[in-house]
Structure 1
């Protein structure tokens, strides 16, 4: 078991929820943009070169939307703004299309909320640009003035303002999701750090007392070395036995083989998961047999650490019977997990005690289960 905080795992999970939301937006709206743009070009373009110019605006809009969905819209902001800003006056003055404003409106709404400052001024400038360019239709049109103002000024400007207004709370929503993810990662790291502190405390309990006793016995042996040889020999034998026992206990602690209290481990696991923002449900179907309690506690401790280190879990379900434990968590990575050496060592111990350890990963869920023959079965 590696007691280090899973910093790399936490970093790898950064932005997972944001990525899912952006992917959903991409799947839902990119086809709509493509269809709407194609219909607009086919409706208004009277020649191939008009289709090329209007199509360039559609392509720029889709590229900008795709980069926004990937969280990288500022990388393509300038060229996309230039293209769509040029297509709008071309559509107004040459083609007579009032629908081409949607390109500059969409691109602007993706870019402006991402700016670090002057976002309000940028939104005003964009809306004013759409309205002024639309009004330029009056220079070349012999249509009814009120109709031109309605279709080329009022609707484009109004829609632009609404779209930009909607994207500001959208940006705020993504910021909240990011903050929640960062908080969850910090909680998971703190939970593992608490486990490290507990490990250090156990190590101190084992070695601190032993070293203090060894120090006292060594000092006593030094005083008696000339006056009571037999007592010195006895003290040295006790020191040797004490050090040997401490070495054994330290090895057991390092390999999670120290005697554990299942109830205490269950409460500790619950506290660690809740501290990491993970919902825990515990089902006790029967009182656990005394013979299986210690090993079941070891399985629970190792599994708790693995979930905190390797999964992006939101829910954990722990089920206890008289002779078994089952832990199921979501948030398991789609790729195979690295070798879990702690569980591999436990599998050998469980098998040596007549039990079976099961580890399964399927469809984003991870199951760890250990089962022994119950006392009732053994007495039959």
Structure 2
């Protein structure tokens, strides 16, 4: 038995993830907003220190600004959940944020003599709320007007000496818009993510409907033919037993055709990646109490699932039926021009190599049709099935 490739991995149960969501984008949005707030606190702290070298302003404006920034984080977290549940206001958290904003703005604004700083924390709290679409625009407009007006008031005071009047005006005009733009971008991503999920569910529903229609048409046709053949056989048997038996044989052939047609239909519509097929086999054997060793190639999903998928299902069933229930080993490896799948289990010494019955013969036939090789053998106390299929089979089929 050849040793597995070093590139093989042993993924644990549940390790195969199919979706990751947009959590990283959300935390990027939160970080950007908090960074803007901290930049504002730093700017105000610099102005306060320039006017007061006692250190009290640094404590009040700087440290108080950090506390105020932290108080807005619960509002941002609530905003994410309110996007899922619809517009709304979490009043207890809002009350805490408003109290902190009022305290910080009032004390810091009075200390350095700025009306704009006094209003900015409270305005920021209301900008962060999840307002309905029409209300949000009005809130942004009102917040912008308030900050610009207070900037003009500050420009006429001694506080603004040496600072061009347009600097606080631009700051007041841009702050609400920047914050709301970040939140709007998050809303757009959530909407797109919901649309993607809805499209995937719709596609799955349409596919199931198409499968159901095909199954109905296939089974309906064969069942009608079988019913007619049996009815004809019932009429012919009393008078012409030979002709009646011919109709019974024809009905049996129609049953086989219906069964094969259903199997072919299920195979055609089956779309489980081979990596997931192997993970399901591993989990099924583990749930049955076996100790399972699984070494799966990282590119397992690129293997020809149409050929190897039925092999994995049949050999897993064979292990459950004819193994001793102790351990099993699943290996999927890739060579230069082929895929190699091996399944081994502890076998009953009294069982014969052909204990798998017709199932393994069906696997042998299927793999032969795909241009691959099939081998079953007994190694010590193990029963081993090894299958190889050409790598090009994925493209040809």
Counterpart of 1:55 (choices 35, 44, 63) is 63
Distance 1:207 1:161, change over 3 A: same
Structure 1 CA distance, aligned partners of 2:113 and 2:159?
13
The equivalent residue for 1:372 is 390
The equivalent residue for 2:178 is 166
Q: Which range is displaced more, 147-156 or 161-170?
A: 147-156
Structure 2 CA distance, aligned partners of 1:114 and 1:355?
65
- Secondary structure of 1:71's counterpart equals helix
Judge conservation of contact 2:147–2:173 (CA < 8 Å) in 1.
Answer: no
Judge conservation of contact 2:75–2:94 (CA < 8 Å) in 1.
Answer: no
Judge conservation of contact 1:81–1:104 (CA < 8 Å) in 2.
Answer: yes
The equivalent residue for 1:322 is none
The equivalent residue for 1:68 is 76
Structure 1 position 135, deviation (Å): 8.6
RMSD across aligned positions (CA): 4.8
Distance 1:21 1:48, change over 3 A: same
Segments of structure 2 that go 5 or more residues without pairing to the other structure are 1-17, 83-88, 278-298, 315-338, 342-363, 375-387
Structure 1 position 179, deviation (Å): 2.4
Judge conservation of contact 1:206–1:246 (CA < 8 Å) in 2.
Answer: yes
1:37 correspondence with 2:41: yes
Judge conservation of contact 1:88–1:104 (CA < 8 Å) in 2.
Answer: yes
- Secondary structure of 2:80's counterpart equals coil
The equivalent residue for 1:232 is 244
Structure 2 CA distance, aligned partners of 1:374 and 1:72?
48
Q: Deviations over 1:338-358 (max 9, x none)?
A: xx9x975454678552379xx
Structure 1 CA distance, aligned partners of 2:167 and 2:95?
25
Counterpart of 2:100 (choices 53, 68, 83) is 83
The equivalent residue for 1:109 is 127
The equivalent residue for 2:259 is 247
Distance 1:217 1:21, change over 3 A: same
Q: After the TM superposition, which residues 1-380 of structure 1 pair with which residues of structure 2 at under 5 Å, given as runs? A: 16-17=21-22, 19-28=23-32, 30=34, 33-34=37-38, 37=41, 40-41=44-45, 43-44=48-49, 46=54, 51=59, 55-65=63-73, 67-68=75-76, 71-72=80-81, 74-75=89-90, 76-96=93-113, 100-101=117-118, 102-111=120-129, 114-115=131-132, 118-123=135-140, 126=143, 145=157, 148=160, 156=168, 158-254=170-266, 256=267, 301-303=271-273, 345-347=310-312, 352=364, 353=367, 354=372, 372=390
Structure 2 CA distance, aligned partners of 1:37 and 1:85?
15
The equivalent residue for 2:351 is none
Structure 1 position 240, deviation (Å): 2.4
Structure 2 CA distance, aligned partners of 1:198 and 1:304?
23
Q: Deviations over 1:281-340 (max 9, x none)?
A: xxxxxxxxxxxxxxxxx7xx4439979xxxxxxxxxxxxxxxxx9967xxxxxxxxxxx9
Structure 1 position 104, deviation (Å): 3.6
Number of aligned pairs? Answer: 272
Structure 1 position 214, deviation (Å): 1.2
Judge conservation of contact 2:71–2:100 (CA < 8 Å) in 1.
Answer: no
- Secondary structure of 1:114's counterpart equals coil
The equivalent residue for 1:268 is none
Judge conservation of contact 1:88–1:100 (CA < 8 Å) in 2.
Answer: yes
Structure 1 position 249, deviation (Å): 3.8
Distance 1:182 1:123, change over 3 A: closer
Judge conservation of contact 2:112–2:159 (CA < 8 Å) in 1.
Answer: no
Structure 1 position 79, deviation (Å): 2.1
Distance 1:374 1:219, change over 3 A: same
Segments of structure 1 that go 5 or more residues without pairing to the other structure are 1-11, 139-143, 266-297, 308-324, 329-339, 357-369, 376-380
Structure 1 CA distance, aligned partners of 2:106 and 2:165?
12
Distance 1:66 1:174, change over 3 A: same
Judge conservation of contact 1:127–1:161 (CA < 8 Å) in 2.
Answer: yes
Structure 1 position 213, deviation (Å): 0.8
